[in-house]
Amino acid sequence: MNYHADFEQLLAEIAQLKGQNIPPTAKEAAQETIIDQLTAMVQSSRQQIDELIASNLELARLSYTDGLTALYNHRFMMERCHAEFNRAKRYNSGLSCVLIDIDNFKLLNDAHGHPFGDFVLRKLGALLKKTARSSDICGRYGGEEFIILIPLPLKQAMDFAHRLHTIIAEHLFSDGQNSARITVSIGLADYRCDMQNWSELISRADQVLYIAKNSGRNLVRVWTGRNIEPEEIIDNGSVNQLKKQFTDIYQQAKSSYVESANALLNAIDAKDHYTFRHSQNVARYATVLARALGLRKQEIEIVRNAALLHDLGKIGIDERLLVKKGSLSRAEYEIMKKHPVIAVNIIKNISLLAREIPLILHHHERYDGLGYPHGLKANGIPLGAKILAIADAFDAMTTSRRFRAKMTRSQALRQIAAEKGHQFDPQLVEVFLLCMTSPPKEDALEEPPSILSPAEPGLQLGAGL
């Protein structure tokens, strides 16, 4: 509406009324009409002004609020840190910065999906807000990191950080479908008079957070001025010797974990005698395929370990479902589909098996995107998981079960070929068929020839295991 033109028209009508000889009653009626129109215009203008003010306030709120957690965003927190730093410096008052990082957040996303990961971020943000005092300033620093500015000296901030650390560890994050507990690493630094600018406060908190993450996670670390030690000079020979020793220790520890997991598989085998032998067979077929694809020795070892552990989650499945002779109902099948996630939850805190976890989690994904647990498709599925999918299916088809007679080797290979581009990666199927139909060699499991060069276009080995 053009309020300026309407107002000019009303003024013209008033002037016209003044120049005319109109009976009082008619003139008063016209004046009432004009007054009513002016009132309506004022009210409409006032409503539009109120709406404009509300919109501007909402835009201002959005400019400093994180869209996911509803905490202050990174930009606003940096501005507040600058202002709080100047206040602390001017009045020589206490100011502490707390940085919080969720441990193994990627594994949480892999195990439960990104929607649940977002749910955890929102709930953690609310938990931080609830635990902090009204004078504390909480914000999202970025990704799975949060920041809290506390106008208190170091001792009191340390008490808060340790209390917050415990509260988070004891909290169960549940959205009704998924449940998980998390741990966090915390870095804490306080204002000191030797600081030149506000960014040093955050930098020190970030440095000790890094130390907490690299010291095993789930820790609170405080800047003391002695956290960062000067680099020592070590001769290259000593460095190489140390690397070798640590590599040997790493491999021994990893082997111990796999052996422990095999003990769990034996426990599953007590329920269902198929599982343990099946895992060994899948490891054998997966190793042959991985070597034929030209994967490096370390990558082959990851595939083999993942194959041995891929059904570990069945320890959490009711024995009646594992040995049921007939077909599973839809509800029973949904329960059975949870075993990859259960397996990941069992081993997710074992850092030595971190690279095996995506393979275990996604070995039931399908190339066409119709698999589970996350419906990944094509190159979105880790290469190692696609290898396990073929090995798993082939052994399942060629093994007798209570509810199904086994196929012959030829029948199973035809079924694998029929699912090329649907259930399985087409290129991997071609290599697997060649492996299974070529005359076996005595050293096939030791040093099999590479059938497909890693550099061949289209395979995308670089996408990772």
Q: What is the pLDDT of residues 162-203, one digit of tens each?
A: 999 999 999 999 998 888 889 999 999 999 988 989 999 999
8-state DSSP, 22: -
Same domain, 13 and 97: no
d(C-alpha 260, C-alpha 277), whole Å: 16
Nearest residue to 291 via CA among 439, 139, 444: 444
- Residues sharing a CB contact under 8 Å with residue 104, sequence separation 6 or more, in sequence order: 217, 348, 349
d(C-alpha 80, C-alpha 72), whole Å: 10
In a domain, 448, yes or no: yes
Domain with 399, as residue range(s), is 238-463
Which CA distances in Å does 303 have to 136, 309, 356, 389?
Answer: 48, 10, 7, 11
Q: What is the pLDDT of residue 278?
A: 86
Helical spans, DSSP H, in 188-273: 199-214, 236-271
Helix (H) or strand (E) holding 53: helix 24-64
Which residue bears the tokens 């003024």?
11
DSSP per-residue codes, 126-145: HHHHHHS-TTSEEEEEETTE
- Amino acid identity at 227: N
Same domain, 134 and 248: no
Q: What is the pLDDT of residue 455?
A: 34
Residue 316 backbone phi and psi in degrees, to 5? -95, 5
Helical spans, DSSP H, in 272-378: 274-292, 297-309, 319-322, 330-336, 339-347, 357-361
Q: What is the pLDDT of residue 239?
A: 42
In a domain, 233, yes or no: no
Same domain, 54 and 196: no
- Amino acid identity at 8: E
Q: What is the pLDDT of residue 140?
A: 94
Same domain, 218 and 144: yes
In a domain, 242, yes or no: yes
Residue stretches of the chain with pLDDT short of 70 = 1-28, 30-31, 35-36, 38-40, 42-43, 45-46, 49, 51-62, 226-275, 350-351, 401-404, 439-465
Same domain, 246 and 269: yes
In a domain, 227, yes or no: no
Same domain, 27 and 47: yes
Same domain, 349 and 368: yes
Same domain, 348 and 437: yes
Same domain, 276 and 202: no
Task: State which of 193, 222, 251 marks the end of a domain.
Answer: 222
Domain containing 88 — which CATH number?
3.30.70.270
Q: What is the pTM of this model?
A: 0.55
In a domain, 228, yes or no: no
Q: How many domains does the chain have?
A: 3
Same domain, 113 and 25: no
DSSP per-residue codes, 206-223: HHHHHHHHHTTSS-EEE-
In a domain, 19, yes or no: yes
Task: State which of 222, 257, 272 marks the end of a domain.
Answer: 222
SS3 342: helix
Which positions are catalytic?
144
In a domain, 410, yes or no: yes
Task: State which of 158, 188, 222 marks the end of a domain.
Answer: 222
Question: What pairs with residue 48 in β-bridges?
Answer: none
Q: What is the pLDDT of residue 207?
A: 93
Domain containing 382 — which CATH number?
1.10.3210.10
* Burial bucket for residue 41 (CB in 10 Å: 0-12, 13-18, 19+): middle
In a domain, 334, yes or no: yes
Same domain, 437 and 304: yes
Same domain, 395 and 271: yes
**Rg of the chain (C-alpha set):** 33
